[in-house]
Amino acid sequence: MRISRQRGVLSEQGVTYLMLMFAIVVIGIATTAAAKQWKVIVQRELEADLLAKGVEIQNALAFYSATVKAGRVMPGEVYPQTLADLTRLPKPFLRKVYLDPMGHGEWEYLRAPTGGIMGVRSKSYAKPFRQHDFPLAVRHFEGRTTYHDWVFQHPSPSSASIVPQGTTPGSVGPITPGLQNIPGGSVSAVQPNQGQPTVRP
């Protein structure tokens, strides 16, 4: 009789142990799934922030160039030496100097052949969730495989960039210079090849 009771107790303990292990496994799976979902949510928010700030910088560069070169005899775009130049009073073109949301630091700068910053891009090589339906100012981002391929520049390769008042559409027309790495982590624009221009990461 005593042996039968002991066996019953051991059997109950075994079932309890299995149920506990099963519960631990389920909790682990649920936690992992929640963590992945949270990571996706965070990345999507950072991606949207990158797109918004990048377009704002791109537009600020366009307005800066149009304003500074107004009345100049020499043709060509004019670019700021730093992003801080876009925030100078009395006529700031950018609300503040933004950092790269995806890279969590400084942007990688696209340098103009004549000097100055003609564009920025993220240092992150992560794959974007967004592949289509971009704003018109950056619709050339479609199909790009990394955030590093999203180059916010003026003139924009997209044909629908904002044209500042007092300028002609040709002054903000779509131009896509080639990119060439230079020391310091920035890139420099070079003359585009014949045919359809491209932006190389």
Residue with tokens 């495989």: 145
Count of domains in the chain?
Answer: 1
Task: Report yes or no on 199 lying in a domain.
Answer: no
Dump pLDDT digits (tens) for 59-103: 999 999 999 988 777 788 999 999 999 999 888 999 999 999 998
Task: Report yes or no on 172 lying in a domain.
Answer: yes
Q: Which domain holds residue 178?
A: 2-190
Asked if the model's pLDDT at residue 183 lies above 90, the reply is no
Task: Report yes or no on 47 lying in a domain.
Answer: yes
- Of 106, 51, 112, 114, give the one whose Cα is nearest residue 83: 106
Neighbouring residues of 109: CB distance < 8 A, sequence distance ≥ 6: 117, 119, 120, 186, 187
Dump pLDDT digits (tens) for 37-70: 888 999 999 999 999 999 999 999 999 999 998 8
87 phi/psi in degrees, rounded to 5: -105, 5
Asked if the model's pLDDT at residue 126 lies above 70, the reply is yes
If one compares 47 and 2, the residue with the highest pLDDT of the two is 47
pLDDT, residue 8, reads 61
pLDDT, residue 7, reads 64
Asked if the model's pLDDT at residue 185 lies above 60, the reply is no
